[in-house]
Structure 1
Amino acid sequence: MEKSPVLIPKPKPLKPHNDPLHIIKTRRTTHKRPATIAGPMVRYSKLPFRQVCRQYDTDIVYTPMILAREFVRNPHARLADFSTNSNDSPLIVQVGTNNVMDLLKFVEMVSPYCDGIGINCGCPIKEQVREGIGCALIYNRELLCSMVKAVKEKYGEMLRLETKIRIHEDWDQTVRLCRDLCFAGVDWITIHGRTKNTRSSQDSNFEAIRYVVDRIHDKEVPIVANGDCLQWGDVQKIADITGAHGVMAVRGILSNPALFSGFKKCPWSCVEWFWYYTLEFGGLPYQLLQHHLYCMLENMEVPRNLIKDLMNIKGTSELLDWFGDHFELRRYGEPRFATCADIPWKNQ
């Protein structure tokens, strides 16, 4: 007996509210600011954290980078690497890949559940670069452009495609790469203002991004600037210097998911939302739960001795009890849930 073919759904229709390209192009007009984007973070930008960011004026959110080779071949990798829901939109799934075949299969599998695909061309990790993934792709223009062209020829306007790159030492190389990507059909380009070898402790080079923006002939392809967006004040500053349509935050939003709402420090409401989404959705490894809370409490300037105590806790139930001992932690549905900016200390 012949098996029935597996029917993979088509990408969901793009409308103004969930079309990332439309959002990036129009936010300056509709909201008087650049588009605000929470970038991909290895392991950390999973569903519960993405949902918290969406509570605080983040327009577009990325998944962590997912390796196409593992995802298309291993069902266990698919379960571990990607989860979403109907409220997780606009969503860009970032992929690490080094060939057209894996990329097309990956896009076929995830495109019904997201609003766009981002090809990672910026990861500087040596293991990835050795495999031709991440930063290696900015030195392999022909391959990168062939991957972009293959996806856009198959999906056209049904699916948005982005490339996230770093700058070259020679800025004109970056200009040539971006022009070729525009010709291949990319919808927008995110530029991280560091080279493959620039340490994160060194300043992001916004002048280099401006240099590229000013030389892209196809003005229909917007540029998003990435790097050193650590406070709300950085958003407009970066947009002004670079001329970019959007600004992406990574490290800044990890510590303060409310960065794009103008909070200088992480508000307590983020903690309550994060606890709610983590327990509601499940599946988040304990170490990630713990580290997210560590980043937020450290940003709130919780005393170091309490931060140390937090990091010594070994399980979710114990951690929840610890929060209940020290703070007024409200549950979803309770009065004043997620309305407090200051830390609601117990017995103070």
Structure 2
Amino acid sequence: MNNTMEIATTETRNVSEKANGNIWRDILGSPRYVVAPMVDASELAWRLLCRRHGSHLCYTPMLHSSVFCRDPKYRREALASCPEDRPLIVQFCGNDPKILLEAALLAEPYCEAIDINLGCPQAIAKRGHYGAFLQDDWELLKNIVSTLSQGLKIPVTCKLRIFPEISKTIDYARMLEDAGAAMLTVHGRTRDQKGPLTGLASWEHIKAVRAHVKVPMFANGNIQTVQDADRCMQETNVEGVMTAEGNLYNPFIFEGCYPPAWEPALEYLDLVERYPAPSSYIRGHLFKLFQHILCLPGNEEERGNLARNSTMESFRGVVEALRARYLPYHEGCLSWDPQSSDYNLKLPPWLCQPYVRDSPQEHLNKIEAKKMEQVNNMVKKDYKDEDGNEISRKRSKKLRRIARRPNRQDSVKRSSDLCTDCPNPLGFKCEYKLCRQCCRKKCFRENLDCPGHRNLTKTRRQIAIEFAVKRQDIDSVK
């Protein structure tokens, strides 16, 4: 009994110490610039690249807690790290407190904190009931956060998305804080803001939450440059900012520079040589780094090579080819004419720079305009033949089909193209100049074969006879 009380007292003391301490200052070293957890993107090699260029703290990719517990290979690859890769926060997704705790205990020796993903808005998170789709089940979230907070020696943090209402978002954040979260990362978008409907994040929500919680906070959303990061910290009073997409298109974002894309690409490939990553990860990073170049005319071959090949040699070949093509422009040996492309860019396309989406309203307007154009074309389109005479839409489609395949025989059959026994078209490979049905009947009646129609009656009968003979031999042996 006394031992049990001593253990309980020790656990309470550990929880109390974690609650009273400041994880941002005392454990993480006061990071201001943070690289977000990104599925298939924030692997070790990429984290090291970012740390070398201004990032103070990195997260692992989102890890599935149940897979992490049962699969040693998944666990080993997910926890790949090195002394340079610290401080580090491991992020898990899941909806079972016991499984999440089991996974967190396995990862505890390799990181400074465990983060619970409450922000993933994708369809796979909805099917698995995790990420942002847990934000409606507050009792479950209280259980998850309190279970991990009490069961771990390191702090527990949460990354969450906002509700449309500021007051509900504040209550949500305070609930997580009261449950034991030592730090919060607030993404200023709702779970419906994703893909082409992403839009701008609400710093107003983030500022309101910061004013009502006591634990340290990171802000996430609208961070495309280091100036955005500094302005966000000033406006919202958060301790640091986190970026995902801005980092993928420019891993030097926190240094405040826009390097030519081949510089981070080659440095990243050198790191991959030391700390291997799946080819899909490498390909994804290179596509984003060279996003603006690969969209220009003349780079189709490099784009195709990057998409098709999966070797380090092929990846380096693409980078070196693009470097050789655009380095003279970068060094001023050749002049770049921005009018030579369809792009209206403030920066030349070979420099790393943010990817700017259309606003949700612009995206919806384009979809509506496209639908109206299709409707108008169907209603108003005039169909004419070669002589300019109006014809039906069905006739026009037939004429276009004939134009595409001029060597195809006309659909109007001549008498010589018809079966000799019936008015159906004959099979041109038929040995007896019959249609399929008539050929089948003839082969059956006369014990013939027609390879053209694959009516192999004689062969089938021979197989049946041989099978019957074998069956008789087996029966006689018995």
Aligned to 2:316: 320
Q: Does 1:309 align with 2:301?
A: yes
Gap change, CA 1:226 and 1:84, over 3 Å in 2: same
Q: Does 1:182 align with 2:177?
A: yes
State the 1:307 CA deviation: 5.1
Gap change, CA 1:114 and 1:24, over 3 Å in 2: closer
Gap change, CA 1:150 and 1:302, over 3 Å in 2: same
- What is the alpha-carbon distance in structure 2 between the residues aligned to residue 142 and residue 26 of structure 1? 32
- 1:285 is aligned, of 278, 281, 284, to 278
Unmatched segments (≥5 aa) in structure 1: 1-18, 28-33, 329-339
- What is the alpha-carbon distance in structure 1 between the residues aligned to residue 283 and residue 35 of structure 2? 20
Gap change, CA 1:236 and 1:307, over 3 Å in 2: farther
Gap change, CA 1:311 and 1:81, over 3 Å in 2: farther
- Contact 2:262-2:323 at 8 Å conserved across structures: no
- What is the alpha-carbon distance in structure 2 between the residues aligned to residue 264 and residue 211 of structure 1? 33
- What is the alpha-carbon distance in structure 2 between the residues aligned to residue 23 and residue 324 of structure 1? 44
- Contact 1:167-1:194 at 8 Å conserved across structures: yes
- 2:121 is aligned, of 118, 124, 131, to 124
Higher relative contact order (CA 8 A, sep 6+): 1
SS of residue paired to 1:64 = coil
Gap change, CA 1:197 and 1:302, over 3 Å in 2: closer
What amino acid does structure 2 have at the position aligned with 1:321? G
Gap change, CA 1:343 and 1:294, over 3 Å in 2: farther
Runs of 4+ in 1 over 4 A off after TM superposition: 23-27, 265-268, 342-348
- After TM superposition, list the pairs within 5 Å mapping 1:81-160 onto structure 2: 81-155=78-152, 158-160=153-155
Aligned to 2:69: 72
Gap change, CA 1:230 and 1:74, over 3 Å in 2: same
SS of residue paired to 1:165 = strand
Q: Does 1:257 align with 2:257?
A: no
Q: Does 1:210 align with 2:207?
A: yes
Gap change, CA 1:44 and 1:23, over 3 Å in 2: farther
- What is the alpha-carbon distance in structure 2 between the residues aligned to residue 47 and residue 174 of structure 1? 33
What amino acid does structure 1 have at the position aligned with 2:278? P
TM-score (ref. length: structure 2): 0.59
Alpha-carbon displacement from aligned partner over 1:130-184 (angstroms, at most 9, x marks no partner): 33200122212221122221222123xx412210000012222221121122222
Larger Rg: 2
- What is the alpha-carbon distance in structure 1 between the residues aligned to residue 299 and residue 209 of structure 2? 42
Query: Which stretch has the larger CA shift, 246-255 or 169-178?
Result: 169-178
SS of residue paired to 1:139 = coil
- 2:226 is aligned, of 205, 214, 232, to 232
State the 1:223 CA deviation: 1.4
Gap change, CA 1:264 and 1:203, over 3 Å in 2: same
TM-score (ref. length: structure 1): 0.79
Q: Does 1:57 align with 2:57?
A: no
Query: Which stretch has the larger CA shift, 75-84 or 112-121?
Result: 75-84
What amino acid does structure 1 have at the position aligned with 2:286? L
Gap change, CA 1:40 and 1:210, over 3 Å in 2: same
Query: Which stretch has the larger CA shift, 123-132 or 74-83?
Result: 74-83
